[in-house]
Structure formats: structure tokens, C-alpha cells
Amino acid sequence: MRAVCWHGSKDVRVEEVPSPEILNPRDAIIRVSSTAICGSDLHLYNGAFPGMQAGDVLGHEFMGDVVAVGSGVSNLREGDRVVVPCVISCGSCFFCKRTLFSCCDNSNPNAVATQDAFGAPMAGLFGYSHLTGGYAGGQAELVRVPFADFGPVKVPAEVPDEKVLFISDILPTAWMGAEYCDAKPGDAVAVWGCGPVGLLAVMSLRAMGVERVFAIDRVPHRLAKAETLGATPINFETQDVYQTLHDQTSGLGPDACLDAVGMEAHASGLLGVVGRVKQAIKLETDRPSVLREMIHCCRKGGTLSVLGVYSGPIDSFPMGMAMNKGLTIRTSQVHLHRYRDDLLRKVLEGTLDPSLVISHTLALEDASHAYQLFNEKLDGCTKVVLKPSLPAGATPTPVS
């Protein structure tokens, strides 16, 4: 089968690889109809996230049809159309029982190695390095899905892929981040990053009834999209973020700040340059400029909701500011199964339409080009969906 393989920094190739097989009773094999490139895949693309091996199949946002199930899967059958959560959860460990699904104890075959790295074994993720299990990802024609009796959610045949695909990751991620903001009536929330997760966080916050949402980025087409979703755009290259937010919130600062950027934040000024240098020479794995700015801007007693991906220690973390302002920091990988069914209902009802973030639909064969488009935000790129069924070179289709 064809699959998108990682071979190093900015080196992604579509290759012929062996087809996956059922290895465990609770496995299923899915034939992928649509898969997407996630902003977090760009951390792998740029070589910023550790634990990758050349040849690894990428991708954790995918959906498709069940083509085979193991003997332990009774709730799915061949032909079922499913969306697959990016996080692999067993459903029966200490953490899954407490709905902390992205902390699953049992889904990572490399648990001992991650325990040494993080102090606790991390859950398995599809196509996201050997730290998270070394599972082959979903940017492929076929994928093996472990614990398939617990994770995948069936979707009706008549709904287009584009509407439901993002239940695999970014919609629940954004929704969870919006929920972490714990916004009360009258609260203002500022969202850093207008990539797909930031945009869907704006959409989620608005759907939850938050009246004032600020969206911070520097890419004009993304800021414009955030504005159409109901946010007040702030371009950090032309506006002073702190001054603007304080001016708009009666001098208090936003009640909650949401990080939809993560470890490769672009910052202006000296700290931004220092951060890039440190990351380049591996003095620091992550560039935490968004975190710093959120702590600076947030109102006293407010909440930081951190969705952006971080991998290692960070320097110059203004803990004194956070402590003295009495901030609450809430963060996690997405506890996806907690939100899955509710969000599917909202999408089917038409309350949420996550397909609005898609800018390009390309052939799986064109993945290398797609990664470049998305990484460099060329051609108005916000979100790329890849389809194994499209012929190579199918014309890019920008959606407004």
C-alpha cells in the first residue's frame, strides 16, 4: 500500500510499504477515505519532536471503512464507516476509568521508555514518534487500529468526510481547550494561534456562548477566517498584544488565554531570536514565547488553557508572574473519547461545522507538497485533507 513516510527534517515521502495486519484480538484494519495533516505533524516535519525513526508512517487524523476486525471486536464489522481517535485508549485502566483517556496506561508498547522520559508512561498515538508507541499512522491507504472496540466512532454514510473527519483530533482538542477556559458570562477569552485548532477553539468558544473572543496570529488569511468565526483579530506583528488586550478588557486582561501554538512559536524581539537559537542548537527543545505572553496578558486569577504541543523543558518560564497573579494552568493531550459522541451529535445537527477550516484537498500521493504548503502557509493554506482515492497531481482546491 501507499503511505506517507517520515525520513528526516522536511523530508516526507510517499512510499510503497507492506500492508498492516491484525496483530491483536482487539485490532481492526481501516481503509482510509480521508486523512489530514495536523499542525502537530509539522513539529515532526520540522524535526522538533524527538523519538522519530526514518521510515515511520505519519498521520493521526483519519477516517475510513472497516475492512477487517480481530476476534475481540464485536461492535464493528466489515464495511462500517468510522472516524478513529488519534489517541489510543484501552478503556479499562486507572486513567481511562477517570476519563483521562490521553493518559491511558496500556496503549503504549514503549511505556518503559516514556516513563524514563516523562516520569510516567504516555498513551499511544498514531504516527507520532516512538515515544508515543511507534504506531504506524493514518496518512496511508490502510491502518491498523488497536483497541478498535473502544475508540472508533461510527458515522452515517450520508455525511461527507469533511464534516466528521476532525472528530479524530482537532475538533475535540479545540472543544476541550475551550472547556478548560471555564468561561463565565461576560468573560473574554484570547486564543493564540489561528491554525486549525485555534480556529476551531474560536468556533467552540462561540458555540459555548462566550461573547468576546480575541484571536492572535500574524497570517492575514487566518486572522480573516477567525474574524468570520466571530473573533476580534489581533495581528501580533502590527499590534501590541498586551496593550490591545488590556484596552479591550477594561484593563484587566482576558479571563482566560488559550495556547493553540505550542513548541515552535514565532516571537518577535530578542527573546524570540534567543529561543530560535537555543532550539536550533538543542539547548532548549521548545520555544515557549506564547506561554510567556499568555502569563503576562492574563487577568489575575485567570486560566491558561494549553493545547499546543510541548516536548521538553523550557527556559525563562515566568513562574513568579504566574504565581503572584494566581493563574491556573490546564493542559493535556486531548481526552478524545470524552467528547467524541457529543461532538458527532453537534456536527450532525449542524451546530458545528469544522469543515470550514479546510483550505486544500489533495491526493495522498502529493503529501510531500502538502506538507510544504501547510508548513509555509503558502497559497492561503489553513488545513490540508489528503485522499488516497485522488490521482496524483489532482488540482489543489482552495476553499475561499
Which residues in this chain contact other proteins in the complex, by CB under 8 A?
1, 3, 5-7, 13, 15, 17-21, 23-26, 53-57, 72, 88, 90-94, 96-97, 105-113, 115-116, 121, 124, 130, 133-136, 140, 142, 144, 146-147, 149-150
Distance CA 4, CA 12 (A): 7
Check: CB of residue 256 under 8 Å from CB of residue 303: yes
User: Residue 90, Cβ neighbours under 10 Å: how many?
Assistant: 19
The residue type found at 347 is V
State which residue, 23 or 321, has the beta carbon closest to other proteins.
Answer: 23
Comparison of 116 and 353: residue with beta carbon closer to other proteins: 116
The rounded distance, in Å, linking the Cα atoms of 66 and 81 is 6
Q: How far is the CB of 144 from other proteins (least distance, A)?
A: 6
For other proteins, the closer CB: 222 or 335:
335
Least Å distance between CB 6 and other proteins?
8
Shortest distance, CB of residue 389 to other proteins, whole angstroms? 19
Cα angle 112, 330, 185 (rounded to 5 degrees) comes to: 155
Q: Which residues of 127-148 are buried (b: 16+ CB within 10 A; e: fewer)?
A: bbbbbbbbbbbbbbbbbbbbbb
Element (H, E) at 344: helix 340-349
Q: Measured from the CB atom, is 60 or 287 closer to other proteins?
A: 60
Residue number, 5 or 202, with CB nearest to other proteins:
5
Centre a 10 Å sphere on the Cβ of residue 64 and count the other Cβ atoms it contains: 26
Task: Give the C-alpha separation, 396 to 392, whole Å.
Answer: 11
Cell of 26: 482487539
- 196-207 and 220-228 helices cross at what angle (nearest 10)? 20
Q: Which is nearer to other proteins, 3 or 215 (CB)?
A: 3
Among residues 290, 236, 235, which one has the least CA distance to residue 263?
Answer: 290
**Nearer to other proteins (CB atom), residue 132 or residue 168:** 132
Q: Smallest distance from the beta carbon of 145 to other proteins, in angstroms? A: 11
In whole angstroms, give the CA distance from residue 220 to residue 187: 26
Q: How many helices (H) and strands (E) does the chain have?
A: 13, 17
Q: How far is the CB of 87 from other proteins (least distance, A)?
A: 13
**Cβ burial, residue 93 (10 Å; 0-12/13-18/19+):** middle
Residue 108 or residue 361: which is nearer to other proteins going by CB?
Answer: 108
Parallel/antiparallel/unpaired status of strands 256-259 and 188-192? parallel
259 touches 307 (CB < 8 A): yes
57 versus 381: smaller Cβ distance to other proteins: 57
Residue 280 sits at the vertex; the CA angle it makes with 53 and 38, to the nearest 5 degrees, is: 55
Which CB sits closer to other proteins, 94 or 242? 94
Cell numbers at 158, concatenated: 450520508
CB of 306 to other proteins, least distance (A): 27
How far apart are alpha carbons 102 and 224 in whole angstroms? 32
Rounded CA-CA distance 399/378 in Å is 14
